[in-house]
Amino acid sequence: MRPVFLRLIPALTFALLACAPGLRAQEAPSPDGPPPASTAPGQQERDPDTQTLKVNVNLVDVYFSVRDKSGFITGLHQQDCGLWEDGQQQTIKNFTQEKNLPLTIGILLDTSGSQKNVLPLEQDSGARFLSEVLKPKDEAFLISFDVNVDLLADYTNSARELKRAIDKATINAASSSAGVPGIGGGPFPTSNPRGTLLYDAVYLAAHDKLRIEAGRKILVLLTDGGENGSQETLKTATEAAQKANAIVYVILIADRGFYGGGITLGSTGAREMEQLAQDTGGRVINVGNNGKKLEEAFDQIQDELRTQYLVSYTPKNKVADGKFRKTNIDCGKGTNVQARKGYYAIVGGGDDE
């Protein structure tokens, strides 16, 4: 596997402590990430050795939620929905509502200078969200990003430990030379001391933390969408989340004084955040700098997690060719299905190396 961490050392601080927790003996689900086609500027196609999740294409799992004009729909059954892969209808083998399946959560906290006045809101609401959503089998980790990417808390089920880590997060608008690299102890030298390494943070969270985890996986970004200086791009960060089978939720929050008003799709990186969330099966919630709206955003994410379904099927195309396959779920007229748009049929199915 390509040494991603070493490649990013000149720009990032990231403690790779996930190796041991990541070896939990669980069956890896088939990824169902959205299509690789992206309008974002990208890099050359990665070498096959860097593909992050090897999938057993004998069984594909797709997590999804369904809404109508009244809200989320519960109580659906297998006969209520149909599933297609590359335009060919598939035979559904299992259809369940997944309220209690283990959940892995990554919180990505923007600690760049533009977040100075809203960081306390993020800390309070983020800690409350984790205390309410984490169940005994769930785990979460916390990453901050600014001119560096720091792992503030590794995998834990302790909401109290996560709260302590969130409360210790501080704004870092410029590089510093203090501390020991790793877990927020001090940054590595950076070539862009005024950057905001958002795409690098998403890539590392997905590729280095979530790719070998099983079950439901989400990333929650608290950011104004500003990006500057990452070695990764929107395209490569999105693909890392796709291959890790991680849903990305973006909570857009910003200091109105810093931007001279609220966040719009034309300001900062809000449009790119819309694309990142949509391409990974999540969505963007714009809260401005309103603490109540921020709490409501976390509540909406909780509601979605409580109403998710899991559908499993054996694809009629059994060739593990490493290509992306588009999937589509339809649960009837007047419904809106929120799901990933497909998966990678990666050669050599099974668990990751």
Q: Label residue 83 by pLDDT band (50, 70, 90).
A: very high
Q: Tokens standing for 262?
A: 């609220």
- % pLDDT > 90, the chain: 48
Provide the mean pLDDT of the chain: 78
Mean pLDDT for the stretch of residues 310-333: 91
> Is a pLDDT exceeding 80 seen at residue 1?
no
CATH number corresponding to 4-21+100-306: 3.40.50.410
> Is a pLDDT exceeding 60 seen at residue 134?
yes
> Is a pLDDT exceeding 80 seen at residue 266?
no
Q: Label residue 194 by pLDDT band (50, 70, 90).
A: low
Comparison of pLDDT for 103 and 172, the residue scoring more: 103
- 97-101, 201-205, 212-216 — which one is most confidently predicted on average? 201-205
Greatest pairwise CA separation for the chain in angstroms: 60
Angle value at C-alpha 248, between 352 and 8, nearest 5 degrees:
60
Give domain limits for the chain.
4-21+100-306, 25-41+48-99+308-344
For residue 151, give the nearest of 116, 117, 118, 107 by alpha carbon.
107
For residue 227, give the nearest of 105, 110, 122 by alpha carbon.
110
Q: Label residue 279 by pLDDT band (50, 70, 90).
A: confident
> Is a pLDDT exceeding 70 seen at residue 9?
no
> Is a pLDDT exceeding 50 seen at residue 130?
yes
- % pLDDT > 70, the chain: 72
Give residue 324's pLDDT: 86
Backbone φ/ψ region at 79: left (φ over 0), alpha (ψ -120 to 50), beta: alpha
**In Å, what is the CA distance from 62 to each residue of 18, 28, 30, 31, 317?**
25, 12, 8, 8, 16
Give residue 245's pLDDT: 86
Under 8 Å CB-to-CB from 213, ≥6 apart: which residues? 22, 24, 26, 104, 244
Q: Label residue 174 by pLDDT band (50, 70, 90).
A: low
* pTM for the predicted model, two decimal places: 0.75
Domain 25-41+48-99+308-344 indexed as CATH 2.60.40 = yes
Query: What is the per-residue pLDDT across 41-82, written as a single tens digit (0 to 9) for each?
Result: 444 444 443 333 344 447 888 889 999 998 889 899 999 999
Query: What is the per-residue pLDDT across 289-302, written as a single tens digit (0 to 9) for each?
Result: 888 999 999 999 98
Report H helices in 119-216: 119-133, 159-168, 198-204
Residue pair 55/312 in contact by the 8 Å Cβ criterion: no
Q: Label residue 257 by pLDDT band (50, 70, 90).
A: low
Mean pLDDT for the stretch of residues 99-115: 89
Lowest mean pLDDT of 234-248, 255-269, 284-298, name the range. 255-269
Give residue 193's pLDDT: 55
Mean pLDDT for the stretch of residues 162-184: 65
Comparison of pLDDT for 344 and 337, the residue scoring more: 337
